Structures are given as structure tokens and as C-alpha cells.
Amino acid sequence: MTRFPTYRGRRLRGSKPLRALVRETRLSPDRLLLPLFVEPGEGVRLPVTSMPGVSRTSVDGIVADAREAHEFGVGGVLLFGLPREKDERGSEAWAGDGVVQSALRALKAELPDLLVVTDVCLCEYTSHGHCGVLEAGEVSNDPTLELLARTAVSHARAGADLVAPSDMMDGRIGAIRHALDEAGYPQLPIMSYAAKYASAFYGPFRDAADSAPATGDRRGYQMDPANAEEALLEVRSDLAEGADIVMVKPALAYLDVIRRVKEETSAPVAAYHVSGEYSAIMAAVERGWLDEAAMEEALISIHRAGADILISYWAREFARRS
């Protein structure tokens, strides 16, 4: 009799309950955050052509979307704002009656148990589309910090549960932490977009948020996709400045970075499955080239790589199926 090697991997794959028993990674919807784009006005819902299933929605619709996500068990929502007007400095970002601030107040009144996170950045609010103030055509780091801090404080005042700076200016976590403490919000946590790459996968988002830079690109402040060591430097420095959660973005193309960040820190790690990563799959699904299970596979892979928190445009759909 020929001896078979002792290991037969298929033994534990023979039935659904056995597979469930030995499953290593489970993604529960409460780890997911759903991004929502807040548009001024009432009764407005503008589908984003390059992001199937995503729309720019006025506050009334945002509340309805958030309620549905909340009822399905999604962990929270992440707000982006489309301002009424843009200017050089992005002043609508910190306006007390700005779109995000109004959405925050409505969400807190209607859904007090829902976790509401806000993106803190200037690119949706500046006329030039850059994430900070321009000086001689360059994004000037230090003068931008005060504006970001102001924006974060205005979100805190309107009821944000967590603020998420995505601008990639140096020193912004420290500046925001300091401003929040001074304004009486020492308990408000910060989720830093710590390792944010200058990625081509943000294309559809820039349609959604109308935030493509009018000139140049973001390579002077976002990270080079070729670098992983540098991600660890960014993460360590943001934690030292007071970040409570660190994020890697994009996600699927940076699973190695997620894993290294997870291994190097004990802080919770978030990952953003960004617009282009989402839309690539959705476009293939629409053509019948991929099954939607591909999206679930992408999300579980990001979690398996080490992300504790996932930001996904598919969060509601994922929760609905769970």
C-alpha cells in the first residue's frame, strides 16, 4: 500500500459547517465605515457616474442613507462635503453652517447612536483643488495647519464623533490635537490618513467630490506608491503627535503596507478601499465580467492583511448581505 502524506487539506473543506469552524477571518459590518457625499440644498440626489451606487446627496437624503446603513449594522459613516462656493483658502470647510456641519447636526439629532466621522481636508473647498493654501503655486504646509485645525474644531462643535485628516500636511495631527484640546474636546479621537499615497485610484472620487487639482498633482504631499518604509515613518510620527487610529490608503494595492503597519503598531489600523478600487470592480460587475462576490473577497482580504477598520462604498451592501 502506498503511503499517502499525512496532511490532506481537503479534509477540513468538505462541508459548510467544517469550513465555518476553521475560518480564520470574519468581517463584521461594525468594522465598516460608509463614505457619504453631502450636497447643499434639499431633495437633491445626484448619481456619481463613475461610482455606481454612490450619489451626492443633500442632508435629508444623507439622514435616510445613514439610517439604512445604521439599521444594517454598519459601523458608522464618513462625511465629505460639497460646498456652496469654493475660494482660495477653502473657507466653507470651517463654516459653522457648512454642508458637513449641517449634516452632522441633522445626523446627531435623528440618529444619536450612529458614529459620525468627518474627513478633514481643504481640497473639496478650495477653488484650485489642492489640499492646502497655495503660495507661489506650491501648497504651503505651515499656514495650512491652522485652517485644518479650525475645520476639525468646527466639526467637533457640530457633533463629530471622530475626525479624519486626509490632507498629508506635516504636523497636522499635532496641530489638530492641540486645537481640539484647547477648544474643550480632549476626548475627541483622531483617525489619521497616515500613509496616504499619491494614487491614480482616487480618480472617481475626484469626480464625486469635484476636487481634482486645477494645476499640478498631489505628489508634493501624498506618498510615492513605491515606498513602504516611509509609511512606517509617517505612522510613527502621527502616533507621536496624537493620532488614535492610523490609516493606510488605498487598500487593495497596499496590502503589504497594511500588514507592516499592523505589525509595527498596537494602535487600531484602518484601510480605505478607495473609489477607483471600488469602481473597477463595480464596472466589471455591470458588464457581467465579475460577480459581486469579488467585492466581498476584496474586503475580507483587506481585513486579513491587518486592517481593523475598513472604509468602503460597499459597506451598506456588505452589511445587507451579512
Is the CB of 241 or the CB of 277 nearer to ligand PBG? 277
Grid coordinates belonging to 243: 493620532
* 309 binds ligand PBG per the rule CB under 6 A: no
* 275 binds ligand PBG per the rule CB under 6 A: yes
Q: Is 196 a catalytic residue?
A: yes
Is the CB of 54 or the CB of 156 nearer to ligand PBG? 54
* 151 binds ligand PBG per the rule CB under 6 A: no
**Shortest CB 266 distance to ligand PBG, Å:** 25
3-class SS string, the chain: CCCCCCCCHHHHHCCHHHHHHCCCCCCCHHHEEEEEEECCCCCCEEECCCCCCCEEECHHHHHHHHHHHHHHCCCEEEEEECCCCCECCCHHHHCCCCHHHHHHHHHHHHCCCCCEEEEECCCCCECCCCCCCEECCEECHHHHHHHHHHHHHHHHHHCCCEEEECCCCCCHHHHHHHHHHHCCCCCCCEEEEEEEECCHHHHHHHHHCCCCCCCCCCCCCCECCCCCHHHHHHHHHHHHHCCCEEEEECCHHHHHHHHHHHHHCCCCEEEECCHHHHHHHHHHHHCCCCCCHHHHHHHHHHHHHCCCEEECCCHHHHHHHC
* 125 binds ligand PBG per the rule CB under 6 A: no
* 314 binds ligand PBG per the rule CB under 6 A: no
Window of 94-102, 119-127, 236-244, 300-308 that interacts with ligand PBG by CB under 6 A: 119-127
Question: 55 to 114, contacts with ligand PBG by CB under 6 A?
Answer: none
* 33 binds ligand PBG per the rule CB under 6 A: no
What backbone phi and psi angles, to 5 degrees, belong to 306?
Answer: 135, 0
Residues in the chain: 322
Q: Which of 202, 254, 314, 318 binds ligand PBG (CB under 6 A)?
A: 202
Window of 11-19, 38-46, 136-144, 200-208 that interacts with ligand PBG by CB under 6 A: 200-208
**Contacts (Cβ under 8 Å, ≥6 apart) of 149:** 172, 175, 176, 178, 179, 180
Size of the site for ligand PBG (CB under 6 A): 12
Which residues are bridge partners to 134 per DSSP?
Answer: 139
* 123 binds ligand PBG per the rule CB under 6 A: yes
- The binding track of 221-260 with respect to ligand PBG, each residue x by CB under 6 A or -, is ----------------------------------------
Alpha carbon 94 to chain centroid, angstroms = 19
Is the CB of 167 or the CB of 241 nearer to ligand PBG? 167
Q: Which of 62, 180, 258, 274 binds ligand PBG (CB under 6 A)?
A: 274
* 205 binds ligand PBG per the rule CB under 6 A: yes
Is the CB of 206 or the CB of 320 nearer to ligand PBG? 206
Is the CB of 58 or the CB of 166 nearer to ligand PBG? 166
**Shortest CB 278 distance to ligand PBG, Å:** 7
Q: Is 249 a catalytic residue?
A: yes
Alpha-carbon gap, residue 87 to 53, rounded angstroms: 30
Is the CB of 123 or the CB of 305 nearer to ligand PBG? 123
* 166 binds ligand PBG per the rule CB under 6 A: yes
Active site residues: 196, 249
Contact positions vs ligand PBG (CB under 6 A): 119, 121, 123, 131, 166-167, 202, 205-206, 218, 274-275
